[in-house]
Amino acid sequence: MQFELTEEQLMIRQAARDFAQTELKPGVIERDEHQKFPAEQIKKLGELGFLGMMVSPEYGGSGMDAISYSIVMEELSKVDASASVVVSVNNSLVCYGLEKYGNEAQKQKYLIPLAQGQVIGAFCLSEPEAGSDATSQQTTAIDMGDYYLLNGTKNWITNGSTASTYIVMAQTDASKKHRGINALIIEKGMQGFTVGPKENKMGIRGSDTHSLMFTDVKVPKENRIGEEGFGFKFAMATLEGGRIGIASQALGIAAGAYELSVQYAKDRKAFGKTLADLQAIQFKLADMATEIEAARLLCYRAAWLKDNHLPYAQAASMAKLFASETAMRTTVEAVQIHGGYGFVKEYHVERLMRDAKITQIYEGTSEIQRIVISREVLK
């Protein structure tokens, strides 16, 4: 068993850390306040190869492993989870799915620009009536011979207005239930495709979340990913990897709040000492450090299993469940350690606390992760 990062992984970590400090930190409070998408920063992340990290160089990617991806997600999320969710969705839910299940023409046309960061992608599964219960898709893709006729609404779509390529799950044959669902590639600008207003969110406010409406959109058959009826399995298999990304995001949010808390505890004086001299604070920091380290090990284990082509659904759900709950607990404690300063925006921890909450909700709630884990336990 090897617990040390490789030279390459250490270099990638340093690059992501530097980027977070120099490019993401300035302006992060303002972007959160004004719900401003980090467009310039995402462009630069694309140039660094962070938007197609695990895609093979043959298709414009960086050819890195999933552990490096987890490392980058952690480092970016320490500072700006609104930017890191774009990195996660593009890498895990869009590029990975296209590389693994797309055909050669789809890879040439869609994957290469996505992996190079020329454009970004969106993954469209959730609906007004189908969040956790993802098999109950109401969006329809009726088979018209040469094309599918797509109708319906998708909700809470990350990169909703900023994406160019959308992977949309839709029901073609309701009698087959989840086996009648297809995954279709939709391009921005297709007739009948409209983007709804931006959601006004509690956290990750710099990210771009919208509902999407499809009215009689003609989708060529060649835009279907995989065989007829493969869409639900496509979505589930893709989300497995996505959960490593969001687990690592949660880890980063927790680690960011923890690092700020350690620094604050050393600097802040109270009762004639620093906060760090008080046992009440020491115990909080010790609990934070321990939980964060456990979350990191779960993230790396899930990533390692994926890199080694071993089953990782349960490991990814364990990582996401534990890391997201750690993010919530840690950020609440970070605000408490900062006292009144923790309650104002300048000290960053209140934003991290708001951002932490979504990691318990998207790409499967904590309850969904428990379903996935317990099914493996009981089978």
Binding residues vs ligand CAA (CB under 6 A)? 85, 89, 123, 125-126, 132, 134-135, 158, 178-179, 232-233, 236-237, 239-240, 313, 362-364, 368, 371-372
CB closer to ligand CAA out of 210 and 284: 210
Q: Between the CA of residue 97 and those of 94, 240, 354, what are the distances in Å?
A: 5, 11, 29
Q: Between the CA of residue 22 and those of 17, 126, 278, 341, what are the distances in Å?
A: 9, 35, 33, 24
CB closer to ligand CAA out of 183 and 285: 183
CA distance 193 to 370: 35
Task: Provide, rounded to whole angstroms, the least separation between the CB of residue 307 and ligand CAA.
Answer: 17
DSSP string across 235-255: HHHHHHHHHHHHHHHHHHHHH
CA distance 33 to 356: 16
* Cβ atoms of residues 348 and 29 within 8 Å: yes
CB closer to ligand CAA out of 335 and 368: 368
CA distance 372 to 313: 8
CB closer to ligand CAA out of 136 and 290: 136
CB closer to ligand CAA out of 16 and 181: 181
Q: Between the CA of residue 160 and those of 52, 167, 184, 359, what are the distances in Å?
A: 19, 11, 16, 18
Residue of 291, 325, 350, 363 marked catalytic: 363
DSSP string across 80-115: -HHHHHHHHIIIIIIIHHHHHH--HHHIIIIIHHHH
CA distance 19 to 186: 32
Angle, nearest 10°, between helix axes 349-358 and 313-338? Answer: 150
Q: Between the CA of residue 366 and those of 36, 316, 328, what are the distances in Å?
A: 28, 12, 12
Task: Provide, rounded to whole angstroms, the least separation between the CB of residue 39 and ligand CAA.
Answer: 18
Task: Provide, rounded to whole angstroms, the least separation between the CB of residue 358 and ligand CAA.
Answer: 8
Task: Provide, rounded to whole angstroms, the least separation between the CB of residue 84 and ligand CAA.
Answer: 11
CB closer to ligand CAA out of 123 and 258: 123
CB closer to ligand CAA out of 99 and 333: 99
Kindly give, in sequence order, each residue whose CB lies less than 8 Å from that of residue 108, ignoring residues fewer than 6 positions away: none
Task: Provide, rounded to whole angstroms, the least separation between the CB of residue 86 and ligand CAA.
Answer: 9
Dihedral Cα 315, 316, 317, 318, nearest 10 deg = 50
Query: Annotated catalytic, 363?
Result: yes
Dihedral Cα 303, 309, 310, 311, nearest 10 deg = 80
Task: Provide, rounded to whole angstroms, the least separation between the CB of residue 28 and ligand CAA.
Answer: 19
Task: Provide, rounded to whole angstroms, the least separation between the CB of residue 371 and ligand CAA.
Answer: 5
> Which DSSP helix (H) or strand (E) runs through 370?
helix 366-378
Q: Which residues are catalytic?
A: 363
